[in-house]
Structure 1
Amino acid sequence: MNNQTLLAFIIIISLIFTSACGQKELSIEPKKLDWKQRVIKVNEDSSLLSGSSYLSVYSAVYLHSESDFKELSSTVSIRNINKQDTIYINKIEYFNTQGQLVKSFLENSIYIAPMETVEIVIELSDTEGGTGANFVFDWSIKPDSNEPLFEAVMISAVGNKGFGFVTHGKKIN
């Protein structure tokens, strides 16, 4: 049996198996984030606590040498891990490897509802950040609330092998 015949056989068997088990294909529509719909006025004189967090991301990684690198796509997650309290993100800045500001994502503070996640996607074709790209987030929370959680998932593929890794945010002064 040649490779094409084997591939066709595997596809047919998986379709039959899926139909027999009554499973439906999972369909998730990507949701484009409208920052303007999340704008909120954060009163600076309030009792909110403020902080900043750092998150490393990679637009590319070196494979075998400095001249051999692979582009990555990144999904940056901003998570409100509070069950009751809203959190506020006041600034999101994206810097490249040289420390230069690439993009500022917010003109005004935004809210993130309890247990909600807001995502930023850095596409595979966007290599402006480079191998040492990073984000800095300024945020505000109620005094007894949990700080926001910042994570990035970077993925890519080389040939028929995919790879991915995760980074976690760190509170900074």
Structure 2
Amino acid sequence: MRSGKPAKSLSAACGILLAMTGMACSTQPPEQLPATIVQQEATLQPVSLNPEKIIDGQTVYVPVYSHIYHHNNPRNAVNLSATLSIRNTDAEHAIIITAVRYFDSEGEMIRQDITEPSKLGPLASVSFFVAANDVSGGAGANFLVDWVAETAVSEPVIEAVMISTSSSQGISFVSPGRVVKQRDVAP
């Protein structure tokens, strides 16, 4: 070095960096730490369904992938976990979920997750999980979700999120639901 100034500047920069690092690592009292994020979902409430009061509803098809193929070979598959999410977007009114059915690639029902009509409150969400090691659905699996309402409501958002974090790789994507049947509104 030609003079002591660059060395002093470098020393000062290192000192500031160390001080900032020390501040970032300092412990805070528990009351100042951010709140822990807890997984929380709405609880579905079983309800009696009066067909005469129903004025809105849909059947929604949601593609789900138990696995996807890679490396130009169908024998190379990555298993995926899937979360079906049903979100009531109406701020004032509940919707009633009447069926959540999971089907395989052949169109055969694997399971039914709702056994009785269940109310999902305003702005509430509920999800249904398919584990990564459950490959019974195959690459062409899907959910059919039936919902109704006793008053006009905004459409719920119904979608599936698939994810895999195996090895050092990670993949995730969303599959939106598509309305396949619209309930006729009563006059």
TM-score range, shorter chain: 0.7 to 0.9
Q: 1:47 to 1:123 in 2, by over 3 A?
A: closer
Which residue in the other structure is 2:127 paired with? 119
TM-score (norm 2): 0.75
In the aligned structure 2, how far is the partner of 1:46 from the partner of 1:70? 46
In the aligned structure 1, how far is the partner of 2:47 from the partner of 2:110? 24
RMSD: 2.6
Q: 1:32 to 1:46 in 2, by over 3 A?
A: closer
Which residue in the other structure is 1:146 paired with? 154
State the shift of 1:99 in Å: 0.8
Contact preservation (8 Å) 2:42, 2:125: no
Which residue in the other structure is 1:11 paired with? none
Any idea what SS the aligned residue of 2:139 has?
coil
In the aligned structure 2, how far is the partner of 1:49 from the partner of 1:15? 59
State the shift of 1:66 in Å: 0.8
Is residue 161 of structure 1 aligned with residue 169 of structure 2?
yes
In the aligned structure 2, how far is the partner of 1:52 from the partner of 1:141? 12
Which residue in the other structure is 1:63 paired with? 70
**What aligned pairs does 1:1-173 form with structure 2 within 5 A after superposition?**
17=24, 19=26, 24=33, 27-30=36-39, 38-64=45-71, 65-173=73-181
State the shift of 1:45 in Å: 1.1
- In structure 1, runs of 5+ residues without a counterpart are 1-13
Any idea what SS the aligned residue of 1:144 has?
coil
Q: Give the aligned length.
A: 159
Larger Rg: 2
State the shift of 1:20 in Å: 5.1
In the aligned structure 2, how far is the partner of 1:24 from the partner of 1:103? 42
- In structure 2, runs of 5+ residues without a counterpart are 1-20, 182-187
Percent identical: 28
In the aligned structure 2, how far is the partner of 1:158 from the partner of 1:113? 36
